A and B are shown apart, each in its own frame.
Chain A
Amino acid sequence: MSLLHLAILLPLFASLFIPIIRRSLHRIHTGWFVLAVPVSLVLFFSRFVSEVAAGGVRMEKMPWIPSLGIDFTVYVDGLSLLFALLITGIGALVVLYSIYYLDKKESLHTFYVYLLLFMTAMLGVVLSDNMIVLYLFWEMTSISSFLLIGYWYQKERSRYGAQKSMLITVFGGLAMLGGISILSLLADTFSIREVIAASGAFKDEPFYIAALVLILLGAFTKSAQFPFHIWLPDAMEAPTPVSAYLHSATMVKAGLYLVARMSPVFADTPLWFYLVSGVGMITLLYGSVSAVRQTDLKAILAYSTVSQLGLIMSLLGVGSLSSEGQQDLALAATVAAIFHLMNHATFKGSLFMMAGIIDHETGTRDIRKLGGLAQVMPVSLTIALIGTLSMAGVPPFNGFLSKEMFLTALTDLMHGGVRDLRTYGTILLVLGVVASIFTFVYSLMLVKETFFGKRNELPKKAHEAPVGMLVSPLVLVTLVVLVGLFPNALAKPFIIPAVEAVALKTPKVDIYMWHGFNLELALTILIFGLGAFLVLTLRKWNRQAGAGLFNRIYDASLVYGERSSTGLHDAVMTGYMRSYLVYIFGFIVTIVLSTLWLMDGFSLPDRASDVTAYEMILLGVMLISAVAITFARSRLTSIVLLGVVGYSVALFFVLFRAPDLALTQLVIETVSVALFLLVFYHMPDISRKEERIKFKLGNAAISILVGATVTLVALSALAGREFASISSYYIKNVYDLAGGGNMVNVILVDFRGFDTLFEISVLAIAALGIYAMIKFRKTGGNPR
């Protein structure tokens, strides 16, 4: 176990002490102790920056289940390091923010335990090289996210949101496990590094496409891509620090990480390019249009997250183009994706924290009630302005730069080298521009409706937030501005190593504000112009959204699933024993007869013993009484007839030369009939009631089928007898070895004595059971 392993597991170990700290040091906010964990991790991971920037990678191996090839291998390259720093850095800021956001009366220990669990899980996802370990941590993020969304479990909406996110992300996680399994079988290894190295060899395997689709399903559900985005807006019931951390900056980017990580494996496949870029673009457009129609601050931010994740996803899709002539374009798109991924984490984190501050200080998040907060909350206004303008893509903030790179990538794709991508590129560009317009609209709408206009009555008297709460968002918006002004400072330590990890090539990164007069500039002006026009006329065309189509589909499918399973259950499980017997008999008959038919297994035995007159008469007696039982009026008659059958069987045993059987059968039949009669004697009502069983055609058909099946199987088995009986051994040795003359008895007590022992136990248990049934009664019962 190396220091890297310890770093990943540090939050998990730390979480063990949280309840103790909470209990013993309850006067200090538990968050202060937690803060030490992400801060030390940031310091730890920043040590790797220079090493990774120089092109180095770090790999540490720890055997976990070596016999299955599952090792906890930590692999640090540009991409992992970028994510690890995002996770720990924003984690530290979120913990700091939560100290002021959450009251000491809340159950802080559970909150921080879940949060630290999540931190370990997320670090594990981005740093694992082994796909099984990655999956393990992947599901850990799902579980900790579930716990955090349901943090205020007393609220119904929280539970609903938690359940929804759990169902959807676990669905995707399981699909991903399927993809991983296929991939590991194709490449014969669980190591991502080795899969990438071997990827050329299995591109034509039949299950390759299945692995691709399944892994993408995992990534799309986790990253809230269309149409799996529906869980994210409902996850906004979580405390705001959680929304800022999990549902904007880190967990939802796990899917992006997976796509970026797997890009070297799948990039050559056109399906990967079309799926990733297409779904990303649809998500971008759908998310931005939906965001405009929300009235809740966090819902707007949730849909905005959905749409920005779509943007990054589509860029990763374009970045996976690797055919000749498109290398530069693909590299540029990957650079844009990584750059926007970092930018989004900064501005979206700050915006969520701002939303939390407004909620905290005014008591509402509804933009219809908010307004005119500019005078009372100037710092929050500054944060919100910088965040939203960056999100809208306005210079000089970092969002502008990445949006420009996005537009450049799309225009290049349109002009791009290969002819058949032109139409597709044009469609993508149009969709991207429309989505950018709506992004602009909701970004400005957010600020305009919250901070400007008329001040309404609010649940709380609005005032500026405490300084501690403002520190984290201020740090983030400072980053927004700094990155906007000096973007190339990030290139060498972060962007280039990360892109190298994704595209396996070194990009040329040179980000600058001014591109000259070209199509992108025109598009930007178009976006700003149309966007501004739409913001000003917002009231005229915008109406609020109800539950979207996909939410209704999700809800309906839950209801339908439950109802249909109940319906099926009610239809099949009738509660009548007869139905179950019919199922059982029907199954036996179907399986056995169809096997006989399909295998052509039926045959008649060719050797048989002779038939005598005695036997025929006896057979007649037995069969007539057996059939008569079914028609008997009185139950007494049926008992007597059953006795007749039993005695006939005993006589058959005589004819078949089985004296011991005949003896036992006679005695036992006598006792049974006596027992039957005894029971009937004590049931006066029933013994007198004389009614025939009503003849039922269905029952008769089933019974005849079962009887015929038994006969057919018996005959076929008789015909197919292959080996001589082992009884010759018993016959030969019964006297020499066991010292007895009666073979049956010797077999029962000597050769196979164990059977007899347990048969005695059966009788003993039956006797005890009968005694207990008769003796032990419910007190206050009514024995007749």
Chain B
Amino acid sequence: MEIIMAIAAGVLVTCAVYLILSKSILRIIIGTGLLSHAAHLLVMVMGGLKTGDAPVIKDGVTAYTDPLPQALVLTAIVISFGVTAFFLVLAYRAYQELGTDNIEEMKGNDSYD
């Protein structure tokens, strides 16, 4: 399962990078969303999958799944949510002010040089 999931994470990264390289700012944000999914899955996979029960103390259970990667991923999910929300609003405001969502048109003014 770990091998399959590693390959799946690779596929997610591929899609994410492809989106990030596109011109539309919204697609770029979608790409970052995919990239964080890939990263979260990868952290889980690297910690080892299904080595026991869910990490909640229960009588009679001796083997639990590694709780540490789960705690890390939980932190990462929250942070990436905060950043994504911020980016989304930023894109929205940029569109309002500049009238475009094409990243190539947001090159800035040469007169600032």
Contact = CB atoms under 8 A, between A and B. Distances in A.
A608 B2 contact: yes
A775 to B, nearest CB: 11
A55 interface: no
Interface string B37-59: 11011101111111111111100
Contacts of B10: 707-708, 710-711, 714
Interface stretch (A46-54, A449-457, A539-547, A672-680): A672-680
Interface stretch (A133-141, A398-406, A471-479, A645-653): A645-653
Contacts, number: 256
A679 B46 contact: no
Nearest to A718: B2
Contacts of B27: 635, 638, 693
B44 A658 contact: yes
Contacts of B24: 635, 693
A657 B6 contact: no
B42 to A, nearest CB: 6
A622 B8 CA distance: 9
A696 B23 CA distance: 12
A635 B56 CA distance: 40
B46 A629 contact: no
B40 A649 contact: yes
B71 A575 contact: no
Nearest to B58: A741
Query: Is the contact region of chain B dominated by helix, strand, or loop, or is it mixed?
Result: helix
Contact of A611 (B1, B15, B47, B93): B1
A656 B26 CA distance: 31
Contacts of B1: 608-611, 615
Interface centre among A706, A707, A717, by most chain B C-beta atoms within 10 angstroms, is A707
Contacts of B3: 604-605, 608, 715, 718
Query: Is the contact region of chain A dominated by helix, strand, or loop, or is it mixed?
Result: helix
Interface residues of A, number: 95
Contact of A718 (B44, B46, B52, B77): B46
B79 A752 contact: no
Interface stretch (A427-435, A491-499, A765-773): A765-773
A169 B23 CA distance: 50
Contacts of B82: 762-763, 765-767
Interface stretch (A175-183, A208-216, A295-303, A743-751): A743-751
Given A668-B81, A699-B21, A743 B2 contact: no
A766 B85 contact: yes
Interface in A664-696: 664-665, 668, 671-672, 675-676, 679-680, 682-683, 686, 693, 696
Contact of A703 (B18, B45, B101): B18
Given A718-B2, A741-B57, A755 B75 contact: yes
B81 A702 contact: no
Interface in A699-724: 699-700, 702-704, 706-708, 710-711, 714-715, 717-718
Interface stretch (A385-393, A505-513, A515-523, A726-734): A726-734
A658 B74 CA distance: 10
B55 A743 contact: yes
A379 interface: no
Contacts of A39: none
Interface string A596-640: 000000001100111100010001001100110110000100110
A610 B81 CA distance: 32
Given A730-B68, A773-B90, A630 B103 contact: no
Contacts of A700: 18
A640 to B, nearest CB: 11
Contact of B56 (A604, A743, A756): A743
Given A703-B21, A743-B57, A725 B78 contact: no
Interface string B86-110: 1011111101110001011001100
A575 B86 CA distance: 23
Nearest to B49: A609
Nearest to B90: A773
Given A711-B6, A748-B74, A743 B67 contact: yes
Given A660-B70, A661-B73, A661-B74, A783 B34 contact: no
A65 interface: no
Contacts of A665: 77
A699 B14 CA distance: 10
A645 B107 contact: no
Given A635-B26, A766-B86, A629 B37 contact: no
The 6 A-B residue pairs whose C-beta atoms are closest, nearest first, are A707-B14, A711-B10, A766-B82, A743-B67, A703-B17, A743-B55
